[in-house]
């Protein structure tokens, strides 16, 4: 009997040891950022920071701190994930990147191959690629049941400026850079534990410096010229992703809130890190664009309609869910008029390549058709055409007065 009790005790102790090694994943501290409208960009900044323009973002949650070494280690231990910095140059060459050349280190060791000491576990994790950051957010989502993601560039700048509590500071959290950020002038050329500098108006730490932070957007140098006003999410495609905020190695001139960094998504450096965001689903639903009540009436009256504001995921050639109400209105019209056939014509902003313009606009038209077919309409009743890049015309202006060629035209056949 005693032997059985001892055996059971050993099993329980063993179970506790295993549990201690694999603790439940906790939610990181998140700050609620109430949505609002702000001026994005800087008229006196670099060319890609211009023009300054009004942007409205929907409420969301944002990481109070940058993801730390110990946070990231939990992800690695749980999944066995291998970061891009740890992969051989053959993988980099596959994605069109040059060889790393000298060893720039990895998330767990410096460029001299020295492992990160235990004392550094509260420092923001470095040498993180955009893909590494996305994989971490995906893991955190599965582990907590919340939908974590990277912030958009607009969300990042809005939060950095203090959201609805903004006091108009020069830097994130104040006008004295040394009080709010670790940068080249005070960092001793290394990162520091999170939360040691003053937070901004929203109680978010280290957005001004310590480490640069990946955003979800593709980078476009002239994107601000055509950026939509509501929840902009960057160009449809590109070669580089956005990084925001200065790092411990940034010069003072690059520490302004509007300064934009960009890099290949597979690339990483000691000063590249991130912090997560979560969509406020209730606020997002309230902000969903509502279809025009007279949309189909206009089709009967004019024989065609121009539809603006349809959001696409061009990479997957699909319509985004927030634009389903417009698709459903077109579907309802076709069900009420069973003999009517239509042409779906896609348009796009000018990318500089006629072939790419045609491809993008064709995908827009095809994605609308696919959604309508899913809703029970015979595919034979719809034709599609990729118009390409459309020139500015009188009926092709947004309410804000900017040309918006990323539209879809529906014509009766």
Q: Which residues contact 304 (CB under 8 A, 6 or more apart)?
A: 409, 410, 411, 412
Q: Is 375 exposed, middle or buried (0-12, 13-18, 19+ CB in 10 A)?
A: middle
User: Which domains occur in the chain, in start order?
Assistant: 30-283 (3.90.1580.10), 288-412 (3.30.1330.60)
Which phi and psi angles does 318 have, rounded to 5°? -135, 160
Distance CA 218, CA 233 (A): 8
Distance CA 342, CA 201 (A): 52
Q: CA neighbours within 13 Å on the CB side: how many for 228?
A: 18
pLDDT for position 290: 58
Residue 88 DSSP class: -
Distance CA 138, CA 159 (A): 22
| Pick from 222, 259, 264: nearest CA to 241 | 264
| Pick from 163, 231, 170, 171: nearest CA to 203 | 163
User: Using one digit for the tens of pLDDT, what is the confidence trace for 310-349?
Assistant: 777 766 778 888 788 888 888 988 998 999 999 999 888 7
Kindly tell me the sign of the dihedral angle through the C-alpha atoms of 138, 139, 141, 142. positive
pLDDT for position 14: 42
Beta pairing partners, 272? 212
pLDDT for position 114: 78
User: How many other β-carbons are positioned within 10 Å of the β-carbon of residue 372?
Assistant: 22
DSSP for 169-236? -SBTTBS-HHHH---TTTS-SS---TT-SPP-TTS--SSSSSSEEEEEEEP-TTGGGT--SBS----S
Residue 109, token pair as written in the block: 């060791």
* Verdict on whether the full-model pTM lies above 0.85: no
pLDDT for position 311: 78
Asked whether the beta carbons of 278 and 149 are under 8 A apart, the reply is yes
| Pick from 67, 59, 58: nearest CA to 29 | 67
Walking along the chain (413 residues) 10 residues at a time, the average pLDDT comes out as 44 38 76 96 95 95 96 96 84 65 73 77 94 96 94 97 96 96 96 96 96 96 91 89 96 96 91 96 75 66 80 76 84 90 86 82 90 92 84 41 63 90
Q: Is 214 exposed, middle or buried (0-12, 13-18, 19+ CB in 10 A)?
A: buried
pLDDT for position 103: 55
Rounded-to-10 torsion of CA 122, 124, 125, 129: 160
| Pick from 126, 131, 130, 129: nearest CA to 270 | 126
């Amino acid at each position: 009997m005693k032997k059985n009790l001892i055996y059971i005790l050993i099993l329980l102790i063993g179970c506790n040891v295993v549990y201690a090694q694999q603790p439940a994943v906790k939610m990181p501290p998140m700050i609620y950022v109430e949505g609002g409208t702000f001026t994005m960009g800087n008229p006196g900044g670099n060319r890609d920071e211009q023009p300054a323009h009004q942007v409205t973002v929907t409420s969301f949650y944002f990481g109070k701190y940058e993801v730390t070494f110990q946070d990231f280690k939990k992800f690695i231990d749980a999944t066995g994930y291998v970061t891009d910095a740890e992969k051989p140059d053959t993988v980099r060459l596959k994605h069109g990147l040059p060889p790393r050349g000298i060893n720039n280190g990895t998330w767990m060791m410096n460029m001299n191959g020295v492992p990160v000491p235990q004392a550094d576990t509260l420092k923001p994790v470095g040498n993180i690629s955009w893909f590494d950051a996305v994989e971490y957010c995906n893991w955190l989502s599965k582990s907590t049941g919340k939908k974590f993601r990277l912030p958009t560039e607009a969300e990042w700048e809005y939060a950095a400026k203090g959201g609805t509590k903004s006091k108009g500071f020069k830097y994130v959290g104040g006008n004295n850079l040394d009080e709010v950020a670790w940068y080249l002038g005070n960092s001793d050329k290394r990162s520091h534990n999170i939360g040691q500098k003053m937070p901004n108006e929203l109680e978010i730490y280290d957005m001004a410096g310590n480490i640069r932070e990946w955003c979800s957007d593709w980078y476009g140098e002239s994107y601000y010229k055509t950026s939509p006003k509501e929840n902009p999410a960057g160009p449809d495609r590109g070669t580089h992703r956005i990084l925001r905020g200065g790092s411990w190695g940034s010069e003072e001139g690059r520490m302004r809130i509007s300064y934009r960094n960009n890099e290949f998504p597979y690339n990483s450096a000691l000063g590249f890190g991130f912090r997560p965001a979560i969509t406020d689903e209730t606020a997002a639903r309230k902000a969903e664009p509502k279809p025009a009540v007279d949309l189909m009436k206009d089709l009967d009256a004019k024989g065609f309609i121009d539809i603006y504001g349809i959001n696409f995921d061009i990479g997957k050639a699909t319509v985004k869910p927030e634009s389903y109400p417009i698709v459903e209105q077109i579907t309802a019209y076709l069900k009420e008029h069973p003999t009517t056939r239509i042409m779906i014509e896609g348009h796009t902003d000018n990318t500089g390549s006629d072939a790419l313009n045609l491809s993008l606009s064709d995908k827009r038209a095809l994605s609308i058709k696919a959604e309508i077919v899913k809703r029970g309409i015979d595919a034979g009743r719809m034709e599609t055409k990729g118009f390409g890049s459309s020139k500015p015309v009188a009926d092709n202006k947004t309410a804000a007065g900017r040309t918006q060629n990323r539209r879809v035209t529906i014509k009766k056949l």
